[in-house]
Amino acid sequence: MLCLLLIQLLILPLHDAKRSFEYDHSWKLFNYDIDGVKYMNDSDYEYKEGTFHFQDVALEEHEKFLIRQNLIPYDFIYDVPQTTISIPRTRPGIPFTVNFIDNFLHEKEPMLRPFPNSKEGKEFTSVFNMFEDGCDRLWFVDTGYLDIPGVRKQVQPASLLLYNSLPKPNFQFRKDINSALLHNGITSGLRSLSVDFILPCAESYVYITDDTTRDLIVFSLQDLRFTKISRASNTADSWKFVVPRFEIQFRLEVEKYRKRPNETYEHYVDFLNSTNQLYDPKSDSRPRDTFNSTYYPNYEGMIYTRNFEGNILLFTNWNRNKLYCWNMDTPYEEENVDVLSRIALDAVGSVLHGLMQRTLKSTSSKFNEDENNFWLFSTNLDKLLEGSKCSKSNQCTDYLTRRSNSQNLLFLSRLSPKYVSDSVIRNVENIWQVTGIMN
CA dist., res. 67 & res. 45, Å (int): 11
Question: Residue 392 and residue 398: Cα distance in Å, rounded?
Answer: 10
Beta-bridge partner residues of 169: none
Cβ distance 236 to 217 under 8 Å? Answer: no
* Among candidate residues 45, 7, 87, the one with its CA nearest the CA of residue 375: 7
Render each residue's pLDDT in the chain as its tens digit; 439 residues.
Answer: 233 344 433 333 344 444 566 778 899 999 999 999 999 999 999 987 666 655 667 888 999 999 999 999 888 888 889 999 999 999 999 999 999 999 999 888 999 999 999 999 999 999 998 988 878 899 999 999 999 988 999 999 999 999 998 888 999 999 999 999 988 888 988 887 878 777 778 878 888 878 777 677 888 898 899 988 775 544 433 333 333 222 333 333 322 232 332 222 222 233 333 344 444 445 444 433 332 333 333 334 456 666 666 677 777 665 556 677 877 777 766 677 787 765 544 454 567 777 777 766 666 678 899 998 888 888 777 777 788 877 755 544 454 455 455 444 444 433 444 445 556 666 666 666 655 544 4
* pLDDT the model gives residue 55: 63
Model confidence, pTM: 0.70
The helix/strand count (H/E) of the chain reads as 4, 28
Where do the domains of the chain lie? 2-392
* The CATH number, out of the four listed (3.10.129.10, 3.40.50.300, 2.120.10.30, 2.40.50.140), of the domain defined by the range 2-392: 2.120.10.30
d(CA 239, CA 429): 40
In degrees and rounded to multiples of 5, residue 105 shows phi and psi of: -80, -20
Alpha helices in 97-217 (DSSP H): 118-121
